[in-house]
Amino acid sequence: MIQLENIIFLIVAGLGIGLFVWQIRKIRKNILMGRDVDLTDNPSERINKTLLVAFGQQKMFKRMLPAVLHLFVYVGFLVINIEVIEILIDGVFATHRVLAFLGPVYSALMFINEILAALVIIACVIFLWRRNVTKVPRLASGVEMRAWPKLDANFILITEIVLMFALFAFNIAGLKLVQMEGGEVAGSYPVSQMFVNIFGDNPTSLHIIERVGWWFHIIGILAFMNYLPSSKHFHIIMAFPNVYYSKLLPKGKFTTNPAITHEIKAMLDPSYQPPAPEMDAEGNPIVQRFGAKDVEDLTWKQLMDSYTCTECGRCTSVCPANITGKLLSPRKIVMDTRDRMEEKGEHPAIFAPNHYKELGVERVETTDEKTLLRGYITPEELWACTTCNACVESCPVNIDQLSTIMDLRRYLVLEESAAPASVNAMFTNIENNGAPWAFSPSDRFNWAEDIYVPSKN
Amino acid sequence: MEENKRLVKVPTMAEMAANGEEPEVLFWVGCAGSFDDRYKRVTRSFVQILEHVGVKYAVLGTEESCTGEPAKRAGNEFLFQMQAITNIEVLNAYNVKKIVTACPHCFNTLKNEYPDLGGNYEVIHHSTFLQQLINEGKVKVQGGEAFKGKRITFHDSCYLGRANDIYEAPRDVLAALDADLVEMKRSRANGLCCGAGGAQMFKEPEPGNKDINIERTEEALATLGSGSGVIATACPFCMVMMSDGVKNKEQEESVKVFDIAELIAQAEGLSK
């Protein structure tokens, strides 16, 4: 029978989902600030990659302990969501454990669910331990790991633990009630069974606990969903599209700017006709910057990267520049991109992360410029990169940190001629001598003198 | 043994074209291979191998110019494309089909970035080329220096490894030496950069607490353990960085840095 409780539930769920959709639209708008790029080729390879890297967590398994713990939480998230669907149906139609008709399948599901929920709690406690007690360097240090990213990570872990406890409270109280009434238990609850008596045997209080556990879990999930867009935890959604749209070409292939190609061809051959430039809505030619100064100069994929980042720091921990004490941290590049994008575009409903930028002694000397370059990311960071692709290789969700670094570097060089002096000297050598060093081109073949090999006879 | 040696005349594309001939493969020497004293020895070793097995090859000689790779990594797309388009004109004029090079940076840009600008060639790195020669039995890895039992560790080049997923070819080449191959903890896809890529070769490092090549050399030395050993490389920049690192650690008497082509030439008795 539909009661007031169900109507309240319907309103709460409607508000929660509505707010989430509203936030997703903001994020979509932010991502579409980026330049267009066509990444729709090879759908079958992209699907394979998504299955392996996103669903299969392939790249997580480079580090065993966090991979296994993360797998518990990930599988727990997927499977427990089946129970959440049931909770939603129960809430709307005033049913109780509506999926129980599945019989043994339902029993197995609930059994796995309980085991996973317990594993999620264990994993989250270990994760909290790693962040706050043993202080795993990639999680605990780095200039970009300011107050907000640290608080965010802890908040998520604690919330997950609390949500799991709410689920257990709901299961335990429900189980006890059914057992007291002598009815048949729908499903199998190995963990709850162990603690079946902790809430006593007062039917009224058990009923209240069951209801509170139920409400807490469902409101918790709705709140958590709306917290995601403000959080690094957004990766649970973004990982899938981000991996789907990842780079399929060899990592060493950097993008080619066709506008420059046309310019050079026209220079070398006066009869060359470059294609007509693209026009904007008012019929003016669209002039694009060479390289990237701000977020709108990056592609939408590079912006999507920054929403996918879970700030795990694998990229930074393998970066040769960072390992040797340079300022560059690939994770910071990605986090800065997100912060700047939300400063410039829309920011999510709950937090504007920029407000959590603490002041302090930092080696990163940004300026007041309202751009990604210099306002967030300094030339010193960009010039520390060896373009070795270790960050790209290490990222479990296929973020391409290097492409953003390169586009910012290109702006410095092509638009500002702001390369370090020795790099400019290298450019001059290539222009004049056809080699990055100051050698005469006429000496290029001198190596071939006096080479001997054993005669064959 | 002078009478058993013959002087090599390295053929150029211009000469071949004048005789109406085309080589099987163009050897792209690269700037380091042409000008850097240490890497010239690698170029010469590779030419000795090419001559020894009788591959019909040629070089561009003074017609070769920088691929533009360091400019591209430094963000100078304009200069890169200038170089690339000019080089492509030369390569296409000679109807080049296949290119081999001992430089992973040249290899990467020729293979991956030249096609966008109209340069389509089959490009292979010398590690893959040597691997093929060994597999085909053309290089037998005998008659020269014995490497049996010698400790060798291979340092992955980023532009060969992560950039192009070539990890096994250089290792297969080294395996043919029958040496004691030891892997650094950070190897293959997890390999640590030597510190020279991305135009770092041409500038001072940014402020930090250590140079990258020292970090990598320490790892290599720890892997080789005490006593003598070889750090094998397959890239001119890695060669410079690792050699400097070994010198910095004052280990140049016991630990040598060699390119895989040099090791093969030594084992084959070509560089006596």
Q: A185, A179 in Cβ contact below 8 A?
A: yes
CA distance B125 to chain A (A): 14
Residue of chain B with shortest Cα separation from A430: B66
Q: Compute the distance between CA of residue B84 and CA of residue B67 in angstroms, rounded to an integer.
A: 6
Please choose, from the candidates A77, A78, A83, the residue with its C-alpha nearest in 3D space to the C-alpha of residue A110: A83
Which chain B residue is nearest to residue A379, measuring alpha carbons?
B206
Mean pLDDT score of chain A, rounded to an integer? 91
Residue B167 is classified by DSSP as -
Beta-carbon separation of A291 and B75 below 8 A: yes
3-state helix, strand, coil in chain B (%, to 5): 45, 15, 40
CB–CB contact A444 B75 (8 Å): no
> Distance (Å, rounded) from C-alpha B62 to C-alpha A113?
71
Contacting residues of A for B117, CB less than 8 Å apart: 256, 261
Per CB-CB distance under 8 Å, the chain A contacts of B4 are 454-455
A323·B192 Cβ contact <8 A? yes
SS3 B189: helix
Say if residues B221 and B182 touch (Cβ distance below 8 Å). no
CB-nearest to A422 from B47, B203, B210 is: B203
Backbone angles phi, psi at A81, to 5 degrees: -65, -25
Q: Do B61 and A321 touch (CB under 8 A)?
A: no
Contact by Cβ (8 Å): B60, B12: yes
Residues written for chain B: 272
CB within 8 Å: A256 and B81: yes
- Neighbour tally for B9: CB within 10 Å: 10
**Residues of chain B contacting residue A453, judged by C-beta atoms under 8 Å apart:** 5-6, 8, 48, 51-52, 270
Q: Is A272 on the interface with B (CB under 8 A)?
A: no
What's the whole-model pTM score? 0.95
Interface check for B62 against chain A (CB to CB < 8 A): the answer is yes
Q: Looking at domain B139-267, which of 1.10.860, 1.10.3470, 1.10.10, 3.40.50 is its CATH number?
A: 3.40.50
CB A272 within 8 A of CB A263: no
- Of the candidates A388, A427, A430, the beta carbon closest to that of B197 is on A388
Do the chains contact at A427 and B71, CB–CB below 8 Å?
yes
Sequence-distant (6+) residues with CB within 8 A of B184 are B153, B155, B191, B192, B219, B220, B223
Across the A:B interface, residue pairs with CB atoms under 8 Å apart total 246
Are B74 and A419 within 8 A, CB to CB?
yes
Rounded distance between C-alpha atoms, residue A75 and residue A79, angstroms = 6
B258 φ, ψ (degrees, to nearest 5): -130, 150
Which chain B positions have a beta carbon within 8 Å of A440's beta carbon?
none
Q: Please report residues of A whose CB lies closer than 8 A to that of B212.
A: 320-321, 323-324, 386
Chain B contact for A264, CB < 8 A?
Answer: yes
* CATH no., domain B2-131: 3.40.50.1860
What H or E segment, with its residue span, contains residue B99?
A: strand B98-101
Task: Dig out the tokens for A38 from the structure.
Answer: 């066509």
Q: What number of helices (H) and strands (E) belong to chain A?
A: 19, 1
Q: Is B25 helix (H, G, I), strand (E, B) or coil?
A: strand
Residue B15, chain A, CB below 8 Å: the answer is no
φ, ψ dihedrals at B233, nearest 5°: -125, 170
Q: What is the CA radius of gyration of chain A?
A: 28
Q: Give A409's contacts (C-beta < 8 A, 6+ positions apart).
A: A291, A382, A383, A385, B74, B75
What residues 163-202 of chain B have any CB closer than 8 A to a CB of chain A?
Answer: 163-165, 189-193, 195-202
Nearest CA distance, A447 vs chain B (angstrom)? 6
Q: CB contact, 8 Å: B155 with chain A?
A: no
pLDDT for res A87 = 79
List Cβ<8 Å contacts ≥24 apart for A55-61: A55/A240, A57/A396, A59/A394, A59/A395, A59/A396, A59/A397, A59/A398, A60/A396
Fold match between B2-131 and B139-267?
Answer: yes
State which residue of chain B sits closest to A417, comparing Cα positions: B76
Nearest CB among B40, B113, B206 relative to A256 is that of: B113
Q: DSSP assignment of A93-120, as one string?
A: HT-SSGGGGGTHHHHHHHHHHHHHHHHH
Do residue B47 and residue A448 have CB atoms under 8 angstroms apart?
Answer: yes
In B129-148, the residues whose Cβ lies within 8 Å of chain A are: none
Q: Which residue of B has its CA nearest to A442?
A: B62
3-class secondary structure, A291: coil
Contacts of A402 (CB under 8 A, 6+ apart): A251, A330, A385, A387, A389, A391, A392
Q: State the Rg of chain B over Cα.
A: 18
Please state, as a whole number, how many other Cβ atoms lie within 10 Å of the Cβ of residue A46.
17
Provide the pLDDT for residue B1. 46
pLDDT in single tens digits along all 457 residues of chain A: 567 888 998 899 999 999 999 999 999 999 999 999 999 999 999 999 999 999 999 999 999 999 999 999 999 988 888 878 887 888 888 888 888 888 899 999 999 999 999 999 999 999 999 999 999 999 998 888 888 888 899 999 999 999 999 889 989 999 999 999 988 888 889 999 999 999 998 999 999 998 888 888 888 889 999 999 989 999 999 999 999 999 999 999 999 999 999 999 999 888 998 888 888 888 888 878 899 999 999 999 999 999 999 999 999 999 999 999 999 999 999 999 999 999 899 887 666 555 455 544 467 888 889 999 999 999 999 999 999 999 999 999 999 999 999 999 999 999 999 999 999 999 999 999 999 999 999 999 999 999 999 987 5
- Give the residue from B178, B168, B151 showing the smallest Cα distance to B232: B151
Closest CA to A119 of A158, A81, A77, A82: A77
Distance from the A61 Cα atom to the nearest Cα atom in chain B, whole angstroms = 13
Closest chain B residue to A264 measured between Cα atoms?
Answer: B82
B225 near A CB under 8 A: no
Residue located via tokens 């409607």:
A14
Contacts of B208 in chain A (CB under 8 A): 321, 324-327, 384
Contacts with B, A 114-143, CB within 8 Å: none
Query: Are B215 and B182 within 8 A, CB to CB?
Result: no
Q: Which of B204, B156, B158 is nearest to A326 (CA)?
A: B204
Which positions in chain B touch A143 (Cβ < 8 Å)? Answer: none
pLDDT at site B3:
58
- Contact flag B8-A451 (C-beta cutoff 8 Å): yes
Q: Give the helix/strand (H/E) hosting A157.
A: helix A147-181
DSSP-H helix ranges across chain B:
13-18, 30-35, 37-53, 69-73, 77-93, 104-108, 126-135, 168-175, 212-224, 236-248, 260-267
Chain B CB contacts of A386 below 8 Å: 158, 193, 195-198, 200, 212
- The arithmetic mean of pLDDT across residues B252-261, rounded, is 97
ipTM: 0.96
Is the predicted pLDDT of residue B42 greater than 70, yes or no? yes
Q: Decide if B59 touches A, using CB distance below 8 A.
A: yes
Within 83-112 of B, beta carbons closer than 8 Å to A belong to 83, 85, 108-109, 111-112
- Spell out which residues of chain B touch residue A64, defining contact as CB-CB under 8 Å: none
Q: What pLDDT score was predicted for residue A275?
A: 86
pLDDT over 60 (residue B114): yes
Of A257, A323, A326, the CB nearest to B77: A257
Interface check B269 vs A, CB under 8 A: yes
- Determine contact: A325 vs chain B, CB below 8 A: yes
Measured between CA atoms, the residue of chain A closest to residue B266 is: A453
CA-closest candidate to residue A15, choices A230, A235, A232, A225: A225
Report residue B272's pLDDT band, with 50, 70 and 90 as the boundaries: low
Q: What's phi and psi for B230, nearest 5 deg?
A: -130, 135
Q: Which two tokens stand for residue A78?
A: 């997927």
